[in-house]
């Protein structure tokens, strides 16, 4: 960076507010709203009863009866995020139905038009994304209590009992544990600009500690998420219409576009937190700003599924000083060791993610499905993640890029 030019991320929460980053919950939406004003409460009443409506075969008919609402009454970021979450749930339920292969290829205009308009306001695609079902889909049971699984609930559910609650809330507590490290970023940038390796060491130790805590939180998934329910039920409702043979041409948003559009389903790759630490630590998934392989290309694409303020934050980090170059330039063994501890914490998280995917996708995929398949069309490829990638190959590539970022001892 040019001398005297301040980093886009400075030591102030005012700067973070501009990027919609909260001091306590990071990229998660703080205290999400639960209710929409009339007439949008009609959406809420469907979204709140999705599992029952699906089970009784009434969901699609209820959706088709809805009036088309103008979104002019949805003012403010939190109301719009709630509307995007609710319309995302309704859309997934409408498209996938009972999850038996009887899919809908056209989203009716009474949902498609307001959904696309709200999406445009937020800079998000019109599909359920991680920023909806994880970051904006939670509440505390005791508002003054801690951000722990036991004190939290989700706002909306898919079929599959508490499987969705487990999956979304464990993802959220992993996210918020890692988010504690965001406040250290300005300290890091200032330390580099002031050539202060001691302060940098302390700050990097804080980051490693937060990443270790995130991994600890990740372990809760085994307690709260059943692999068979996840694979055979919840995963279906999180699937998108890009790279999915059940909707090979995509989904037609009636009244919005004349041709079907393809969007990827919700994926952990849409979380800003780990892309944030990749950038900070100089873990390069790109060469000269160009994705180096299909995994890097997918990560880059998933940024467009993040809230625009979070995309801007990642871009601001990219224009900040390089931690990796500074550590290398100092030739200090202790500093390199602490830097490596941060990178190793990212490797550990990615190793663990691979184990989780093996347990929750690969192993159940190899077992005979108990679900009925009514459609004659090709079934969805089972080794794919909800984002539409070959998930094991993708995660292995991302992990090896992370391992390759460890500084080698001379």
Annotated binding site for heme b, which residues?
353
Query: How big is the chain by its Cα radius of gyration, in Å?
Result: 22
The Cβ of residue 20 has, within 10 Å, a number of other Cβ atoms equal to: 21
CA atoms within 13 A of residue 175's CA, in its CB half-sphere: 31
Mark the binding-site residues, compressed into ranges: 353
The DSSP secondary structure of 85-121, one letter per residue, reads: HHHHHHHHHHHHTTSSS---SEE-HHHHHHHHHHHHH
Q: Of 256, 250, 304, 279, nearest to 129 (Cα)?
A: 304
What sign does the dihedral 199-203-208-213 (CA atoms) show?
Answer: positive
d(CA 264, CA 258): 19
Residue 5's SS3 state is coil
The Cβ of residue 307 has, within 10 Å, a number of other Cβ atoms equal to: 25
- Per DSSP bridges, beta strands 106-107 and 252-253 are parallel
343, containing H or E segment: helix 333-357
């Amino acid at each position: 960076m040019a001398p005297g030019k301040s980093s886009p991320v400075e030591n102030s929460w005012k700067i973070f507010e501009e990027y919609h980053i909260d001091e306590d919950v990071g990229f998660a939406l703080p205290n999400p709203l639960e209710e929409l004003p009339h007439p949008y409460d009609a959406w809420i009443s469907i979204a709140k009863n999705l599992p029952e409506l699906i089970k009784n075969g009434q969901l699609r008919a209820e959706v088709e009866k809805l009036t088309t609402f103008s979104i002019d009454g949805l003012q403010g970021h939190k109301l719009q995020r709630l509307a995007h979450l609710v319309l995302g749930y309704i859309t997934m339920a409408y498209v996938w139905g009972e999850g038996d292969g009887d899919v809908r290829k056209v989203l009716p205009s009474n949902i498609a038009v307001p959904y696309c308009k709200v999406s445009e306001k937020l800079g998000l695609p019109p599909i359920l994304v991680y920023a909806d079902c994880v970051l904006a889909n939670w509440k505390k049971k005791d508002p003054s209590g801690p951000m722990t699984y036991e004190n939290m609930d989700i706002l909306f559910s898919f079929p599959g009992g508490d499987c969705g609650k487990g999956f979304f809330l464990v993802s959220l507590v992993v996210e918020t544990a890692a988010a504690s490290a965001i406040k250290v970023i300005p300290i890091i940038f200032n330390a580099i600009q002031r050539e202060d390796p001691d302060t940098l060491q302390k700050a990097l130790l804080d980051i490693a500690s937060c990443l270790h805590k995130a991994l600890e939180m990740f372990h809760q998934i085994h307690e709260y998420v059943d692999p068979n329910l996840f694979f055979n039920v919840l995963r279906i409702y999180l699937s998108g219409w890009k790279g999915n043979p059940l909707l090979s041409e995509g989904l037609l948003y009636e009244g919005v576009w004349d041709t079907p559009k393809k969007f990827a389903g919700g994926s952990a790759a849409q979380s800003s937190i780990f892309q944030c630490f990749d950038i900070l630590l100089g873990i390069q998934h790109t060469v000269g700003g160009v994705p180096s392989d299909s995994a890097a290309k997918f990560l880059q694409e998933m940024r467009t599924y993040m809230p625009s303020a979070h995309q801007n934050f990642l871009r601001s980090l990219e224009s900040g000083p390089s931690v990796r170059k500074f550590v290398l330039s100092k030739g200090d063994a202790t500093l390199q060791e602490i830097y490596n501890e941060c990178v190793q914490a990212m490797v550990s998280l990615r190793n663990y993610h691979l184990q989780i995917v093996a347990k929750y996708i690969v192993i159940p995929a190899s077992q005979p499905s108990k679900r009925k398949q009514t459609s004659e069309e090709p079934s969805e490829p089972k080794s794919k993640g909800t984002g539409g990638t070959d998930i094991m190959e993708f995660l292995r590539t991302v992990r090896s890029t992370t391992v390759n970022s460890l500084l080698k001892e001379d």
